[in-house]
Amino acid sequence: MSQEPIKFAYWVPNVSGGLVVSKIEQRTSWDIDYNRELARIAEKAGFEYALSQIRFTAGYGAEYQHESVAISHALLASTEKLRVIAAILPGPWHPAVLAKQISTISHLTGGRIAVNIVSGWFRSEFTAIGEPWLEHDERYRRSEEFIEVLKGIWTQDDFSYRGDFYRFHNYSLKPKPLQQPRPEIFQGGSSRAARDMASRAADWYFTNGNSVEGIKAQVDDLRAKAAANDHKVKVGVNAFIVARDTEEEARAVLAEILAKADPEAVRAFGHEVRQAGAASPEGEGNWAKSTFEDLVQYNDGFKTNLIGTPQQIAERIVALKAVGVDLILSGFLHFQEEVAYFGEKVLPLVRELEAKRAAEKSAA
C-alpha cells in the first residue's frame, strides 16, 4: 500500500447529459461557466486532478461536446493548483501537434497540464470523421508508439523515431514543457493490451469501475508486468459517487437513476462497446462483463460501490488503496454540490482512516 495520501480526480462534464445515461434530473451542465465554477470548487475541496473527455460524435446522449485540450486549458486558466488531464485519441491527433499544444499550455499554466491517451472504442465515430478504424490490439500498438514519441519529443533534442505509425527526423521541440522531466501520461483502458502498454509506457493506468477483487486482479497483473519491465505505474479507478447523510438516501438515488435509465441509449452504447471489447484477442476489455445496469454509468462507476454514507465510502476508498489504488476518479449526479459535499464530509474521513492505518502499521 502506498504511503502517499490517495489522490482524487473528477470527470470534467464537458459532454452534455452528465455521467449517467438516465432521464433523472441532473444539475450538471457541460457549458464553460458551469465547468469553470466546478473546477474552482473542486480544487478548494481537495481534488488534485480533473479529467476531460474526448468525443467527436455521441452514441449515448452526449450530444454536445467541448474539445478536451481547449477546455482543459480554460479550466487551468480559472484555477491555481488543480492539474487537468486532457483526453487524447491517437488517430485524430498527430503526436507532433499534441506535444506542441501541451508544451504551450504547460508554459501558460505553470506546468499543470497532463494527458490521458485513450485508444478508442467507438467505431461509428471514427467512420464519421473519416479516420481508419484499427483492430483492438493495433489501436494499442499505435497508442504505445504515440506515448514513446511524446516522451521523446518532450525530453530530447534532435529526436528521431522510426515506427509503424510515426516517423521523426532530428526534431527539436522548443520550448519543451515546464514539467521535469515532462507532463504526466495517463492511459484509459482495461484490457490485457491496455495493461501490457501501461506496464511499459504510461505513468498511470486508468481503469473502469470494479469491485475491490476485480481491481486487485488488475493491479496484481499490472504491477507484476511493470516490475518485469523495470517500470513504475500508478493506478486510478473510476467510481460514480453517491454520498448522502444516510445509506437509504444514497441507495434511493441509485435506484432512481436506474429506474429512469434511457433504455435505447444504454442499449446502443452497450452494442458499440461490446463490439470494441469483443475485438480484443481475449474477448475482454472494459465492458466485457457489464450488465444493463452497469452501463447506465458509461465507465462502470456503480461497480466500485462508493454509494452510501461518508463513513462507508471512506472505508471503501481505503480498502481500494490497500490493494494498490493511488487515485479515485469520480463522477457525480449534481457535480458542483456533490464535489463540495465530498470535500467537506468524505475526504477528511479518508485522511483520518489513512493516518490510523499508518499508525497501526508502524506499531506492528
Ligand X SMILES: Cc1cc2nc3c(=O)[nH]c(=O)nc-3n(C[C@H](O)[C@H](O)[C@H](O)COP(=O)(O)O)c2cc1C
Binding site for ligand X (CB under 6 A): 53-54, 87, 89, 116, 118-122, 188-191, 193-194, 206-208, 238, 276-277, 280, 285-286, 299, 329
State the nearest-atom distance from the C-beta of 117 to ligand X, in Å.
Answer: 9
Closer residue to ligand X in complex, CB, 124/229: 124
Q: How many CB atoms lie within 10 A of CB 281?
A: 11
**Helices 32-45 and 68-77 sit at what angle, rounded to 10 degrees?**
60
Closer residue to ligand X in complex, CB, 116/309: 116
DSSP letters, 270-331, are: HHHHHHHHHTSTTS-STTTT--HHHHTBTT-TTTT--EE-HHHHHHHHHHHHHTT--EEEEE
State the nearest-atom distance from the C-beta of 348 to ligand X, in Å.
Answer: 26
State the nearest-atom distance from the C-beta of 169 to ligand X, in Å.
Answer: 30
Closer residue to ligand X in complex, CB, 94/345: 94
Q: Which three cell numbers stand for residue 322?
A: 490497500
State the nearest-atom distance from the C-beta of 186 to ligand X, in Å.
Answer: 8
State the nearest-atom distance from the C-beta of 339 to ligand X, in Å.
Answer: 17
Answer left, alpha or beta for residue 206, where phi above 0 means left and psi between -120 and 50 means alpha. Answer: beta
CB 87 within 8 A of CB 52: yes
DSSP 10: E
Closer residue to ligand X in complex, CB, 54/222: 54
Closer residue to ligand X in complex, CB, 116/297: 116
State the nearest-atom distance from the C-beta of 237 to ligand X, in Å.
Answer: 9
In 127-212, DSSP assigns E strands to 159-162, 167-171, 185-188, 204-207
Closer residue to ligand X in complex, CB, 138/256: 138
**Chain center to CA of 96:** 23
